[in-house]
């Protein structure tokens, strides 16, 4: 039923689906502004694991839960030389308020047109990203793609995957 609804929204022009990115594929390199308005260039993170978690809207319950869960684990991610980015179509002011209001340690990136989301195969429905996570390995290749993630379980699952790969 969910897939049928998404197909209908796509036909009506309300939803836009990107091309599904494949594991092993080169990462789509991008430049986006973070919560401080500074440009973040993905290519600068070669040699790092990179978590790109796409979320619908800052300061909503699921998005807050996910951001807090990543923040709770951020020291472990950093110990494994992993950079975590939350990406949405929210503007810079919204993501800055979100980060400050909840004391979040994650860096947030603004993708106002959803172009980076679509490049990673993330659905953009009525201007909101679906909740998907893409893990990039240190060679900046797509290591793992998780679609429709549970906001509370996603951070631990991604961390566990990286821990098993780094052993």
Single pTM value for the model: 0.88
pLDDT digits (tens, 9 = 90+) for 117-161: 999 999 998 889 999 999 999 999 999 999 999 999 999 999 999
C-beta atoms surrounding 68 within 10 Å: 18
130 assigned to some structural domain: yes
| CATH code, domain with 93 | 3.40.30.10
Rounded-to-integer distance, Cα 129 and Cα 56, Å: 5
Burial-class residue 37 by CB neighbours within 10 Å (0-12, 13-18, 19+). Answer: exposed
Q: Based on the structure, what is the number of domains in the chain?
A: 1
**Residue 6, C-beta contacts closer than 8 angstroms, at least 6 positions apart:** 15, 17, 123, 125
Residue 12 pLDDT > 60: no
**Catalytic annotation, residues:** 63
Whether residue 124 contacts residue 54, with contact meaning beta carbons closer than 8 Å, is answered with no
């Amino acid at each position: 039923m969910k897939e049928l609804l998404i197909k209908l929204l796509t036909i009506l022009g309300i939803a836009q689906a990107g091309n599904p990115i494949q594991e092993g594929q080169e990462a789509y390199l991008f430049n986006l502004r973070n919560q401080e308005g500074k440009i973040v260039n993905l290519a600068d993170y070669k040699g790092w694991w990179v978590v790109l978690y796409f979320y619908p809207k800052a300061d909503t319950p699921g998005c807050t839960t996910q951001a807090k869960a990543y923040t709770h684990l951020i020291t472990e991610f950093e110990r494994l030389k992993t950079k975590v980015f939350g990406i949405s179509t929210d503007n810079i002011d919204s993501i800055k308020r979100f980060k400050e209001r909840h004391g979040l340690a994650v860096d947030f990136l603004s993708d106002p047109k959803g172009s980076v989301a679509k490049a990673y195969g993330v659905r953009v429905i009525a201007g909101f990203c679906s909740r998907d996570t893409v893990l990039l390995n240190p060679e900046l290749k797509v290591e793992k793609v998780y679609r429709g993630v549970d906001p509370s379980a996603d951070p631990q699952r991604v961390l566990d995957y990286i821990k098993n790969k780094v052993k």
